[in-house]
Amino acid sequence: MTVESTAARTPRRSAGSKAGTTGTKRTTRTPAKKDAKSNEPQLVQLLTPEGKRVKNAEYDKYVAGITPDELRGLYRDMVLTRRFDAEATSLQRQGELGLWASLLGQEAAQIGSGRATREDDYVFPTYREHGVAWCRGVDPANLLGMFRGVNNGGWDPNSNNFQLYTIVIGSQTLHATGYAMGVAKDGADSAVIAYFGDGASSQGDVAESFTFSAVYNAPVVFFCQNNQWAISEPTEKQSRVPIYQRAQGFGFPGVRVDGNDVLGVLAVTRWALERARGGEGPTLVEAFTYRMGAHTTSDDPTRYRGDEERQAWEAKDPILRLRRYLEASNHADEGFFAELEAESEALGKRVREAVRAMPDPDHFAIFENAYADGHALVDEERAQFAAYQASFADEGGN
C-alpha cells in the first residue's frame, strides 16, 4: 500500500530512524530498527534500475497505452535535458553564467511529471525545473538569462503556463494553490502542479499551501522532488516522517514514487492530475530521487557527503534504466541513439551560442517594470540617473 489517505489503517510511528545518530534518546516504543525500515522508500516503481518493467495494479493503467514512440520521446527528453544541464554547468565554469543549479540525476522526476501535464495545466517551478521547462516548451536558452544575470526571469509565464523560477524556497506552492483556487472558481478542468524540494517541505508556506488547498479542495498537485539534500542538510534534518506521509495530516493522499523511474513518475503524476481535474482536490507526490551534482555551482558537496552514496545512486540512473528497457524491448535501435547523440550536441551548441550572444541589458532596465502603472519616485530617479549618465557623455567628447 503506497497511497496514504486519511483512512490509512496503521499510523506509523514518526520517530525518525536517525534519532539515534542525532543524539535523541531512543525509547523502547520506537526501536531504531523498525524505524529504519519505515524510513526506507516504499515507492511506486514501474521500471527497475535494471530496466525491467514491473507490474503495478494501481498505476499501470496510467501508462497502459504508452507507445514505443512515446517511450523514445521520454528518453530523448531526458537525454537532451541532461545535455543542456551539462552545457549550463560548463558555461558557468567558463564564466558565461554566474551560477547554475544542476538537475543532474532528477531527469526522470522532471520529465515524467512534466510530460504528464496538459497544455492548459499550469506549472509553478522552483529554480531547478529545467526538465519540466523543456516539457512545457520553454526555450532552454531563456532559462539561462537569470543565471547569466541579464534578467530575473526571461520568459512569459503565460506563453507556456510555466511560471518564472521562484528562488525563495516554497513561496510558489501558495501561488499554485491560489491559481488552482481560481481554476476551480472558473469551473475549468485544468490542473496545477507545484514543484518543491525536501528542504522546502519545512517551510511554513508549504504547510499553509497544504492547508489552503485542502480546505478549498483546490485542483493542485504538490510535486516534491526529494533529492535527499537541501544544500548540505540531509532529509532527516527536515522531517521525522517520510515527506509523502505529511499529506495525511492535511486530509489528502500522498504517494512516494521512484523519482528515477520516468514511467513510474509519469503514471503517478497522471493519476494525481486526474484527481485534481476530477474535483478530488490536492495530492502530494514525493519523487524519491538524488541530486547527483552540487546544490549549485557555488556548492562543494565533498564537505558534507561521501562518494559512496553518489555511487549507489549512479546505479539507479534514470536515463540508463530507460535505455536498458528500450534495448531489451527492441523499441530503439542504434540509429536512434546515434541520432539523439547528434541532436544533443546540436542543442549544446545552440545554447552555448545563444548565451554568449545575450547582451547585457540596457542600463535603464533597472527602472523598467518596477511598477505596472508607473511611480513618481521611479520617474524622478530615472531622470536623475539619465542626467548622471549624460554627464559622462559630455566628458567622452574630449
Partner 1 sequence: MADKMALAKAINESLRRALESDPKVLIMGEDVGKLGGVFRVTDGLQKDFGESRVIDTPLAESGIVGTAIGLALRGYRPVVEIQFDGFVFPAYDQIVTQLAKMHARSLGKVKLPVVVRIPYGGGIGAVEHHSESPEALFAHVAGLKIVSPSNASDAYWMMQQAIQSDDPVIFFEPKRRYWDKGEVNAEAIPGPLHKARVVREGTDLTLAAYGPMVKLCQEVADAAAEEGKNLEVLDLRSVSPIDFDSIQASVEKTRRLVVVHEAPVFFGSGAEIAARITERSFYHLEAPVLRVGGYHAPYPPARLEEEYLPNLDRVLDAVDRSLAY
295 is catalytic: yes
Question: Measured in whole angstroms, how far is the alpha carbon of residue 262 from the centre of its chain?
Answer: 13
Cβ atoms of 283 and 275 closer than 8 Å: yes
Which residue in 371, 383, 386, 391 binds partner 1 (CB under 8 A)? 371
- Distance of closest approach, residue 127 Cβ to partner 1, in angstroms: 12
Which residue in 163, 226, 245, 283 binds partner 1 (CB under 8 A)? 163
- Distance of closest approach, residue 69 Cβ to partner 1, in angstroms: 34
Q: In angstroms, rounded to a whole number, what is the distance separating the alpha carbons of residues 322 and 49?
A: 8
Q: In angstroms, rounded to a whole number, what is the distance separating the alpha carbons of residues 376 and 304?
A: 50
Nearer Cβ to partner 1 (224/263) = 224
Piece of 30-38, 103-111, 233-241, 374-382 that binds partner 1 (CB under 8 A):
374-382
Cα angle 269-164-279, degrees, rounded to a multiple of 5 = 35
- Distance of closest approach, residue 384 Cβ to partner 1, in angstroms: 11
Question: Where do the DSSP E strands lie in the chain?
Answer: 122-124, 192-197, 220-226, 229-230, 233-234, 254-258, 283-288
Measured over the CA atoms of residue 24, residue 28, residue 32 and residue 37, the dihedral's sign is negative
Cβ atoms of 47 and 321 closer than 8 Å: yes
| Catalytic option among 118, 304, 363, 375 | 304
- Distance of closest approach, residue 157 Cβ to partner 1, in angstroms: 6
Cα angle 264-266-267, degrees, rounded to a multiple of 5 = 65
Nearer Cβ to partner 1 (75/179) = 179
Q: In angstroms, rounded to a whole number, what is the distance separating the alpha carbons of residues 351 and 151?
A: 17
152 binds partner 1 (CB under 8 A): yes
Cell of 149: 544575470
| Catalytic option among 130, 136, 256, 295 | 295
Q: 306 in the Ramachandran plot: left (φ > 0), alpha (ψ -120 to 50) or beta?
A: beta
Which residue in 28, 158, 311, 398 binds partner 1 (CB under 8 A)? 158
- The 10 Å Cβ neighbour count of residue 295 is 18
Q: What is the DSSP letter of 124?
A: E
Residues 349-368 that bind partner 1 (CB under 8 A): 368
Cα angle 285-288-291, degrees, rounded to a multiple of 5 = 125
114 binds partner 1 (CB under 8 A): no
Nearer Cβ to partner 1 (205/258) = 205
373 binds partner 1 (CB under 8 A): yes
Nearer Cβ to partner 1 (252/313) = 252
- End-to-end C-alpha distance for the chain, whole angstroms: 79
Q: In angstroms, rounded to a whole number, what is the distance separating the alpha carbons of residues 51 and 394?
A: 69
291 is catalytic: yes
175 is catalytic: no
| Catalytic option among 115, 148, 291, 321 | 291
Which residue in 157, 234, 249, 251 binds partner 1 (CB under 8 A)? 157
Nearer Cβ to partner 1 (304/371) = 371
Position 93, amino acid: R
Residues 207-246 that bind partner 1 (CB under 8 A): 208-209, 211-212, 215
Q: Which residues pair with 54 in a beta bridge?
A: none
x/- map, 169-208, partner 1, by CB under 8 A: --x-xxxxxxxxxxx-xx-----------------xx--x
- Distance of closest approach, residue 237 Cβ to partner 1, in angstroms: 21
Q: If binding means CB under 8 A, how many residues of this protein chain bind partner 1?
A: 42
- Distance of closest approach, residue 154 Cβ to partner 1, in angstroms: 8
Cell of 250: 492535511
- Distance of closest approach, residue 170 Cβ to partner 1, in angstroms: 9
107-114 and 68-93 are packed helices; what angle lies between their axes, rounded to 10 degrees? 130
Residues with a catalytic annotation lie at 291, 295, 304
Q: Which residues bind partner 1 (CB under 8 A)?
A: 151-154, 156-158, 163-164, 166, 168, 171, 173-183, 185-186, 204-205, 208-209, 211-212, 215, 368-373, 375-378
